[in-house]
Chain A
Amino acid sequence: MVTKATLDYAYRRLLNICDERRVTRDPLEALVYENSFAQLPKQAGAPGPLSFRLRPDIVCLPRTPEEVSRVVLLGIELSIPVVPRGAASSTHGGGVCNVGGILMDLRVLNRVHPPDPDALTMTVEGGVNWKEASDYAAYKGLFLPVYPYFAGSATVGGALANGDVGIGALKYGPLAGRVRRLEVVLPTGELIWIGAEEISLGHRNYNVTTLLSGSEGTLGVITRATLEVLPMYEVLKPLAYAFGEPAAGAGALRALGNSGLTPYHVEFVDDIHLAIQRALLYQVAEAGGMVSVVLEGGKDAVAAETKTVDDLMASQGGVKQPDPVALEQWNERFIRYRGRRLSGGMVVNEVMVPLAKFPEALAGARRKAAGLKMDVAARAYLADRSSVVYTPYWLTDDRSLKSQVSLAFIKAFHDVVIELGGHPNGLGFLMAFNLDRMHGDEADTMRDIKGALDPQDMLNRGKLVSMRGRTPPLAPEEFFGEMPPALPIYMLKLAGGVKRMMRRDRYTPKPGRRKAAKGEEGE
């Protein structure tokens, strides 16, 4: 237990590390940091046993990697847990405290170094926003080929640490594979570079940059990354095809995966998502599902691929949509939360499923949602030729009990996904109970790795490899801090029971007719 005197001392030391404008322990300012994009039940932060200390004791905003290192060293010295936070856009509570401590807001670590057009690299700091990085590269005539699904909000360090797959991964590989080297502050306070700048080491020479991917800030804080960029493309062409039923659209994804084509990005949305979009946008088809295919490259190659994709989608029952519709769908990639305007709240989850099982996952999710009297929209994109990142979401009102018990869908949905050979994406502390279910004995190896690199459990304590919450006053943390995985599972089951007894959600506009929209060809 960290005493008030220790926190006072830590605060004074932090004033010396960062300047006074970048350190605060004001409860009102700290309140902001209790929240993230993840939907947390309000009860989770309320005082009492088996809850979390979401409010940080101290918030600081380090501006250089050296400051980050010094903050971590201070945490070690005073045994205060340290939580790195990017834009807090993760869906599983990655960027908020669970046991209090020092929270580092890394968004002021946001310098972008000029890209190197010869080496085709760009070095950015961990707090840089992906869209800004992408825009800056474009301004310099270069193309950042892979960026996270939530690029509009996510930071470079946050998305890399969360192991995001990313838009463009289908053609250029996942985000982590586009990283030449990383500057990392380890949980021991060491500031190191791994990887090499001038050449991609790949899997050779102990290049363990990928170890940080998916570590969610438990093994280190990414303070700088050298990313691979490309010369700007000649043509980028978004295409869209409407389908009568969601299942037909899901089947079309499989056809694309097996076609031998390599589009830049392929995304599927279902009728519920389209209904939400229609309430907010102009050019949205009334259909059971829509598949967007984005092609990129040379003019001739894109023209040839367009024809092949058109034929393939037609053979699957897809109706080609006019170019403005396709363009609007593509432009929506930076605005993932638009639906919030309808209800005031939104819960997003993300999983990965084998492409062959995607139709089953989609059907399973809709079945579970129907059981819980919910309208759950589906967005999904191809991560590679044989797997899909599936992002279901639903609208809620954050203030209502109904919103909180609707989280029961996550547990039910994850059961379906794990059964189908997939896995939930992201663990944080809200989903950490999934680790053993997903990895079995390997979860222990992950705990060993955490123990090896963070022997004092300083960084993101009680997340990913364990689940830690509030310790009762005067109770030893080692006995009472750890939360058994069965507890959240039980709570979510209980929430499911309550949700079933409630009335159906009314936030989502009624989906339109389940038939393909009129397209260029008239039908």
Chain B
Amino acid sequence: MPRGLVDFLQVLAGHPTLKGVEPGEMARAVYMHDKYVLPDDIMQILGRGPDATLKASRPEDVSQAVRVASGEVSAAALGLPARQFHYLRTTLGMERGREFSVDWQRNVDPYDDELLPMQGGFLMDVSALSTIEVREDLGVVRAGVGALWKDVQAAATAKGFDLDLFPIVPMDFAIGDLVGGAAPFGSRSGRLEAAVRNIEVVLPDGRMASLGYDGVPPNASGYDLVALYLRGGQHLALPHTFALTLAPAGKIRRVLAYTYPDASAMVGVLTKLAKARLALARVLIHDQVAWAMSHRGEALGVVLEVAFRAPEAVAPALEKALDGLAAGHTGKAEALSPLDAPSEFRRASQNLRTAGILGEVLCTPATVAEVFEKLLELGPAMGIFGAVQGAGISLVPFSRRPLSRRERFDLVVKIKEEIVGLARLAGPQLLLLLDGGEAIRQGFNLVRRIKDKVDLPSTINPSRALLVPQVAPPPSQPRG
């Protein structure tokens, strides 16, 4: 049985009946569980799932599950009712020293792109870890991994703050969904770790640890583990609580919607915005489909939604500067953003419940128009959400109707082919597997080496440990 995706891909590569199958075809077959291509033993692996789902009601439950899975303590420590304990002992054979792993369940898995199902072990339901505590003195809000973004934002707003972090697509993401780019979250600065001060995690040996500080960023105090754990995905630890930074809401809060006939009319504005020094809270992009699904009313083109908060004296100058940058629009209006209104967020989230999110496409203002058009040409049901993040732009293409796995795979491959040289793919495993640039491989290799050191038996999330094709050569050996 493969311990993780890395093992699994190696099994595939060395399988006698799969010799000669092209990598693209192999990826398609694996993604679609194609029994006409894959032999029975591979299909069995793909048909597996977790042995048990455990509901965590407090962070210690996650720690306990990891300790049990790693064999450090007996399954009796889980405190399960007798019947369930009997199930663990007999059906799962925990007493016989079988290796287990632990994964955790996301609230929304937008990409639906799992390549390797969990091969046994515990799946943690962390939805009950949803405590929210606003620390006004430190300018942070502490939220459990299962807390929904909209609830955390509502708690911050009640205390006169805004979150620096926002979902690019108004879906019911939990805060934990942001780890490793598993959900399209954004920030105006484009640096997610600046919006996350501290992460409390369960380490692969079951210890609970706090990474970073609540009140200050971790600069110059050793390795930046917060950034590493955010960027390195979920391979190194299971998070249970996040401390997110807050921004003062400001006396004046405005959300303005500028409409443009098409994406190319918006290029100049996005170029200026990316370079501008305006202190804006967020800049979102919607095509007509995205606007219709997330806002009330129809849009007559591509809409740029700009939100800012400012002191009274500064707000008019800011709006004037913004109007200057946004020249060329066909309409300007005050907008009610779902990110600011809980009822609107619920409605938008409901509308998007069955939408097929295809990944995050990173591009620059110079290429955004071309990428935008190419993405919309993928099909009549396509829509695009987007956000300006730092000097770059994130576009999240989606289909407003549900997608089968075959359709999703074909669309992702098409995106990959269409945007070559214009943009980068990010987000889902499948996109990474298909894209696999050199820099990604190098970064992944570093994470992989750390994973092998801190979690050699792959107790934590083995099925998410992605192997990008063509891994870099092994470290140079000393001569002599």
Contact = CB atoms under 8 A, between A and B. Distances in A.
A304 interface: yes
A202 B220 contact: no
B190 interface: yes
Interface in A76-133: 76-77, 118-120
Contacts of A303: 317
Interface residues of B, number: 91
Interface stretch (A266-274, A448-456, A480-488): A448-456
Contacts of B452: 452
Contact of B217 (A165, A211, A439, A465): A165
A213 B221 CA distance: 10
Contact of A206 (B250, B277, B311, B440): B440
A188 B473 CA distance: 12
B181 A423 contact: no
B442 A193 contact: yes
Contacts of B309: 260
A400 interface: no
Contacts of A190: 472, 475-476
Nearest to A166: B219
Contacts of A242: none
Given A202-B190, A261-B310, A452-B452, 16 more contacts: A177-B189, A177-B191, A188-B475, A189-B475, A190-B476, A192-B442, A198-B364, A203-B181, A211-B227, A214-B223, A300-B317, A303-B317, A356-B139, A386-B216, A445-B203, A448-B453
A236 to B, nearest CB: 10
A76 B214 CA distance: 39
Contacts of B50: none
Contacts of B9: none
A261 B314 contact: yes
B42 interface: no
A423 B221 contact: yes
B317 A208 contact: no
Contacts of A259: 248, 311
15 contacts: A177-B191, A194-B439, A199-B363, A199-B392, A203-B231, A206-B444, A206-B447, A219-B223, A298-B277, A298-B321, A352-B221, A353-B215, A384-B194, A443-B222, A451-B453
Contacts of B137: 354, 356
A163 B477 CA distance: 30
B221 A438 contact: yes
Contacts of B159: none
A435 B217 CA distance: 16
A523 interface: no
Interface stretch (A36-44, A225-233, A279-287, A333-341): A225-233
B227 A181 contact: no
Interface string A39-78: 0000000000000000000000000000000000100110
Given A77-B479, A425-B221, A210 B231 contact: yes
Nearest to A304: B317
Nearest to B186: A202
B450 interface: yes
A298 B248 CA distance: 23
Interface stretch (B73-81, B122-130, B341-349, B420-428): B420-428
B449 A305 contact: no
A264 B450 CA distance: 37
A130 to B, nearest CB: 16
Interface of B: 137-140, 181, 189-194, 203, 207, 209-211, 213-225, 227-228, 230-233, 245-251, 275-279, 309-311, 313-314, 316-318, 320-321, 360, 362-364, 366, 389-392, 423-424, 426-427, 432, 437-440, 442-444, 446-447, 449-450, 452-454, 472, 475-476, 478-480
B314 A304 contact: yes
Nearest to B138: A354
A189 B453 contact: no
Nearest to A417: B216
A203 B314 contact: no
A200 interface: yes
A15 B105 CA distance: 57
A210 B203 contact: no
Contacts of A257: 139
B215 A119 contact: no
Interface of A: 73, 76-77, 118-120, 162-165, 171-174, 176-177, 181, 186, 188-190, 192-196, 198-208, 210-211, 213-215, 219, 228, 230-231, 233, 257-262, 296-298, 300-301, 303-305, 307-308, 311, 350, 352-357, 383-387, 421-427, 435, 438-443, 445-446, 448-449, 451-453, 464-465
A444 B423 CA distance: 39
B440 A422 contact: no
B221 A446 contact: no
Given A173-B191, A192-B442, A204-B181, A210 B224 contact: yes
Given A193-B438, A300-B317, A442-B209, A118 B366 contact: yes
A196 to B, nearest CB: 5
Contact of A173 (B189, B230, B363): B189
A446 B446 contact: no
B214 to A, nearest CB: 7
Contacts of A446: 222-223, 225
Contacts of B189: 172-173, 177
A231 B275 contact: yes
Contacts of B278: 297-298, 301
A208 B251 contact: no
A301 B217 contact: no
A195 to B, nearest CB: 6
Contacts of A442: 209-211, 225
Given A73-B478, A300-B320, A352-B216, A452 B139 contact: no
Nearest to A296: B277
Contact of A199 (B203, B218, B250, B424): B424
A425 B316 contact: no
Contacts of A192: 442, 472
A350 B220 contact: yes
Most buried by B among A73, A258, A440, A442: A442
B148 to A, nearest CB: 20
B248 to A, nearest CB: 5
**A-B pairs with lowest CB-CB distance, top 9:** A354-B215, A386-B139, A206-B443, A452-B453, A304-B317, A188-B475, A210-B227, A425-B220, A204-B426
Contacts of B140: 386
A203 B316 contact: no
B475 A262 contact: no
Nearest to B181: A204
Nearest to B277: A297
Contacts of B392: 199-200, 202
A46 B229 CA distance: 42
Contact of A177 (B194, B251, B475): B194
